[in-house]
Structure 1
Amino acid sequence: MNLTATARGTFAIAPTPFHDDGRIDETSIDRMSDFYVESGCTGLTILGMMGEAQKLDADETRLVTERIVRRIGSTIPVVVGVSSPGFAAMRSLARLSMDVGAAGVMIAPPSTLKTDDQIVSYFAQATEAIGSDVPWVLQDFPLALNVVMTPDVIRRIVGASPACVMLKHEDWPGLEKITKLRSFESEGTMRRLSILTGNGGLFLDFEMERGADGAMTGYAFPELLTDVVTLSAEGKKDEAHDLFDAHLPLIRYEQQPGAGLAVRKHVLKLRGVLASDAQRKPATSASPIARKEIAYLLDRVAQKDKRVAQAAGAAKGAVA
């Protein structure tokens, strides 16, 4: 089930479950993996920035990768984040991931890259390091990584690396970038590239209309992401926007820099997906005031989307 440039749908970004004491929670890993499949996701991305990959040691990284891929990798494609300061570690995790059944890997640029030529050269070397037979996702997230990739640079990377089959598009504002990349394809100056978008889904409704193939992001209700992607693909614009708008206040709240993962894990705990909303230290957590605000938002969203009612009820009980 190798990743290809025709990939569409919703690839959820998965958090890494921990016990309250910081140990990896393998039972919650299994439950979470099944949850994403049951939510209609067409893929799963693990060990990304919201997966706290940088807080895991090598053995823990291997454990998480093997457990998730072996549980659901034959059902939906799993993409593994392999970004690393050095190519040796990147190659090791990439080869492990593919050996256990991953569909591909995701690579983000290091913040030291400053020029267009440096960026293009880096990804050419990364492709050589992991092996040209490994399909990979280019992560474009300048807000967090401080590396700006113009559409022309992305075109150069894609042209030099046939194994690059997908763009995880997280530029902001980035709607015009999607339009430009699709124009490259239509004029024949860039081959077909799957474009899945991030940023917590904040612009997913319009990104789909600009030519995105779906979402690769996290949200405590991945069902919303899958529905918006499906409705948009079916041309049901108003339905897609109506559903998206109902969830937007909670999406926005979850997108707060530095606090978003705490919010997402808290809601996933309310939903029974995670046993604990703990993060590996250094960490943040949802304060009592924040939990009340989350409960309020869940109640508001539940009035428009009944699938949120269970979490809303649990949130009310937790803050009562």
Structure 2
Amino acid sequence: MISAETRGVFAIAPTPFMPGGALDVASLGRMTERYAGYGVDGLTILGIMGEAQKLEPEESLAVVREVVAHAGSLPVVVGVSAPGFAAMKRLSNAAMEMGAAGVMMTPPAAMRTDDQIAGWFAQAVAQIGTDVPFVLQDHPTATGVVMSTNVIRRVVEENPSCVMLKHEDWPGLEKISTIRRWQKQGDMRDLSILCGNGALFLDLEMGRGADGAMTGYAFPEMLRRVVDLAPRDRDAAQDIFDAHLPLLRYEHQPGVGLAVRKRILARRGFIAHADLRAPDAPCSEAACAEIDYLLERLAARDPGCGL
């Protein structure tokens, strides 16, 4: 199970599809084993990168089943966010029965005030069970839900099963510092903080006290090296991060970023096809050429990147 002591790198995994849009079940096992081979500490599935909103309920269960079966000892976190609690409860219960290590959830866009946000989490926990450890996903640029540090502390204190913050606010470095200050002062209980945002600020987030990364950048071994080096050799970690920054920036484009990431993961053998499920489209010919150029540059600047 994940806990407040969870550290390291959790790779956000995509959902692989066939060219016609069918779920590519065969790629799920290979993808999971490939991530494990690059030294991640865990996997997170059925998030925004996993195109979870495009899946049928039975497809979501199939993804969980295959990934958990191939993950071995790696903990798997399952995104269960949905407009209604019935779907969340079903997926959460099934995922935990299959061997998931916890779930990740965030409120729908209609939740605006602190009371609404805190109330939503209380209801969600009542539905999925107080014994299910969960990740509070704070990703306002994608969800439209703005969570202050005060409401995050309130959710954490009111729900002991909240063991991790997936920090994806932007700008959000001060949020990490505030939470860590409260914890040091004894004003907030311990909480694992893993950071997303495509790792675009991972170098600085580690300096603010983050415990690692939970994101889908197509080079998990870069995340591994930066997270491991940051506490003891900031300059070495920064050198690795700097070499990847042009590609990180390119991957972070709204709307096309997932297509970029899937193309790179397909090229690296994580998944068989770079296809997204409709209505999203793959990279254009021009984008593919730009990706190839950036990968060539990356291979020259960071020979250990795995290309």
Quickly name the TM-score band, shorter chain normalised: over 0.9
Match of 1:265 in 2: 262
Three-state SS of the structure 2 residue aligned to 1:248 is helix
- CA deviation digits over 1:180-212, x for unaligned, max 9? 000110111110000000000000001000000
- Read off the aligned partner of 2:73 and give its amino acid letter: T
Map of 2:272 onto structure 1: 275
Query: Which of 142, 145, 151 does residue 144 from structure 1 map onto?
Result: 142
CA separation in 2, counterparts of 1:232 and 1:212? 10
Q: In 1, Cα distance between the equivalents of 2:272 and 2:119?
A: 43
1:172-251 correspondence runs (5 A): 172-233=170-231, 235-251=232-248
SS at match of 1:50: coil
Where does residue 106 of structure 2 map in the other structure? 108
Q: 2:290 aligns with which of 277, 288, 293?
A: 293
- Given residue 269 of structure 1, which amino acid in structure 2 is its aligned partner? A
Q: Which amino acid counterpart does residue 129 of structure 2 have in structure 1? A: G
SS in 2 for 1:65: helix
Shift of 1:272: 1.6
User: What amino acid does structure 1 have at the position aligned with 2:146?
Assistant: V
1:232/1:309 CA distance change after superposition, 3 Å: closer
CA contact (8 A) 2:222 2:305 kept: no
* Structure 2 residues without counterparts, runs of 5 or longer: none
Say whether 1:57 aligns with 2:56.
Answer: yes
Q: Tell me how large the CA RMSD over aligned residues is.
A: 0.9
Task: Report the AA paired with residue 149 of structure 1.
Answer: M
Q: How many residues are treated as equivalent by the alignment?
A: 307
Q: For residues 159-193 of structure 1, what are the alpha-carbon distances to aligned partners after superposition, in whole Å with 9 as ceiling and x for unaligned?
A: 00000000000000000000000011011111000
Instruction: From 71, 83, 86, give the equivalent of 2:84.
Output: 86
Tell me, in whole angstroms, the C-alpha distance in 2 between the residues paired with 1:308 and 1:284: 27
Task: Identify the residue that residue 317 of structure 1 maps to in structure 2.
Answer: none
Report the Cα offset of residue 307 of structure 1: 3.9
User: 2:19 matched to 1:20?
Assistant: yes
2:270 & 2:223 partners in 1: Cα distance? 17
Matched residue type, 2:83: P
- Shift in alpha-carbon separation, 1:309–1:218, aligned structure 2, 3 A: closer
**1:6 equivalent in structure 2:** 5
Shift >2 Å, 4+ stretches: 307-310
State the SS of the aligned residue for 1:216.
strand
2:93 touches 2:128 (CA, 8 Å); kept in 1? Answer: yes
Percent identical? 57
**Equivalent position SS for 2:166:** strand
Paired residues of 2:137 and 2:165 also in contact (CA < 8 A): yes
Q: Is the 8 A contact 2:168 2:197 kept in 1?
A: yes
Provide the C-alpha distance between the structure 1 equivalents of 2:239 and 2:293, rounded to a whole number of angstroms.
20
Q: What does residue 124 of structure 1 align with? A: 122
Measure the CA separation in 1 of the matches of 2:306 and 2:66.
31
